[in-house]
Amino acid sequence: MEEEHKIGGRYEVDVCMDLDVTEAAESDDLSKTVDYEQVYRIAKGVVMGNSSYLIERLAHRIGGAVLEASPRVQRVEVTVRKPNPPVNGPVERAEVSVRLAR
């Protein structure tokens, strides 16, 4: 596990956001919704930034950063998956979901 911490690993991230989309849906105006490119950059920045031992920490940091950067988002659920985690057995992936709200 220490070696993986040093060299990094592969992760999969899902970010589900709860927000009122009425204004965006009625106007078809991108400025009335969430900037999904920004959400992607946030998730990538957290995963590629300071190393973490726990996928729980990654999920929590991504969720907090999304809430901070996106005032329209009321609740966020972040799922982080680690394919082929370093455990003594045939495990396809480890996965954790974190839910945060304003």
**Which tokens hold the place of 48?**
């590629």
Q: Which of 6, 32, 44, 82 is labelled catalytic?
A: 82
For 22, the 3-state DSSP assignment is helix
Q: Are 100 and 64 in contact (CB under 8 A)?
A: yes
Is 82 annotated in the active site? yes
Query: DSSP E strands: which ranges in the chain?
Result: 12-19, 73-83, 93-101
**Which residues form the catalytic set?**
82
